């Protein structure tokens, strides 16, 4: 999430009433979680296991729960509860707004777009030429739908991210201030859900076609001209390169990359990154020929056990 106006670290620290280390004029231009940070961003870290990753990331301001050596050119904000204070900051700069009307404020909708009267459009949404939004669909805050996008009946574009911190009192959800971008000629079937990025953008590439009842998690990036059949489920922070095909009921864990031109057959489970240009099957999935040989061997086990008696 980019700030509309850059703030100094002193101004940011004052919002959450925390001490800071570094020049008081050090500039903060954005707030992002670790997967999305760029120079100028603020990121939070609340566990020593991840200190080094955060301190060496592109982020130039680190909201942290311990005083540590401040890297050159960066600033630290010391907080007893970085997760909570990160939420306070994102809510401060991008508060949740539940619209009261079918079309929210500050939207830019091309006159050629066809939007059913029962659809709901959030705040600051941009909709391009010849877009079709079918009955009952919801387009969340800050979403972008480029030209010729189709959103099917009762689909949700930009639901809040499934991102929680476990506490003694229960699970505390991170405030979602990201968005979804559907590029040109994307088609979304009925009853699909595409979660917004936590602080960044969940992106579906140009020409990709998505069947009914597909779920795509926060901050996932799908390439161009991909196909996803019904009941595909992708966790957050997945990277799918161009021309990938995922057949029905494929499931994919987070932080996985699927290479260009890969095909994953139905009911497969993806737990690690896959090379492009190959066909995969099974759970956990492997190259299809290897998996079929494995299955053939398993079918022979009763026979082999009988011979061992």
Catalytic residues: 218
How far is C-alpha 11 from the geometric centre of its chain's CA atoms?
A: 29
Look at phi and psi of residue 91 and say left if phi exceeds 0, alpha if psi is from -120 to 50, else beta. alpha
Q: What is the dihedral of CA 86, 88, 89, 90, to 10 degrees?
A: 90
The single residue listed with the structure tokens 């903060």 is 28
Query: What are the DSSP calls for 256-267, one per residue?
Result: -EE-TT-EE-TT
CA separation (Å) from 181 to 186, 202, 295?
10, 6, 40
Buried b (16+ CB within 10 A) or exposed e, 78-96: bbebbbbbbbbbbeebbee
Antiparallel, parallel or unpaired: β 61-64 and 2-8: unpaired
C-beta separation of 165 from 128 below 8 A: no
């Amino acid at each position: 999430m980019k700030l509309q106006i850059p703030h100094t670290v002193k101004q940011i620290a004052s919002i959450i009433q925390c001490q800071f280390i570094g020049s008081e004029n050090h500039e903060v231009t954005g707030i992002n979680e670790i997967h999305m940070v760029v120079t100028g961003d603020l990121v939070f870290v609340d566990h020593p296991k991840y200190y080094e990753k955060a301190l060496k990331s592109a982020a130039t301001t680190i909201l942290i729960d311990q005083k540590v050596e401040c890297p050159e050119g960066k600033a630290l904000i010391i907080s007893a509860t970085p997760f909570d204070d990160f939420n306070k900051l994102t809510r401060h700069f991008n508060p949740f707004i539940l619209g009261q009307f079918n079309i929210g404020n500050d939207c830019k909708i091309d006159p050629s777009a066809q939007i059913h009267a029962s659809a709901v459009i959030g705040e600051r949404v941009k909709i391009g030429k010849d877009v079709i939004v079918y009955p009952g669909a919801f387009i969340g805050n800050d979403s972008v739908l480029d030209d010729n996008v189709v959103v099917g009946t009762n689909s949700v574009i930009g639901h809040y991210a499934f991102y929680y911190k476990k506490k003694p009192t229960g699970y505390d959800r991170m405030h979602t201030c990201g968005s979804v971008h559907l590029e040109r000629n994307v088609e979304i079937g009925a009853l699909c859900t595409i979660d917004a990025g936590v602080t960044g953008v969940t992106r579906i590439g140009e020409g990709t076609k998505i069947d009914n009842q597909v779920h795509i998690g926060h901050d996932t990036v799908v390439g161009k001209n991909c196909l996803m059949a019904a009941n595909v489920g992708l966790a957050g922070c997945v990277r799918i390169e161009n021309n990938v095909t995922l057949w029905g009921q494929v499931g994919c864990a987070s932080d996985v990359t699927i290479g260009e031109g890969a095909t994953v057959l139905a009911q497969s489970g993806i737990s690690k990154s896959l090379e492009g240009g190959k066909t995969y099957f099974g759970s956990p999935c492997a190259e299809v020929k290897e998996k079929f040989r494995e299955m053939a061997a398993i079918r022979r086990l009763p026979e082999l056990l009988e011979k061992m008696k």
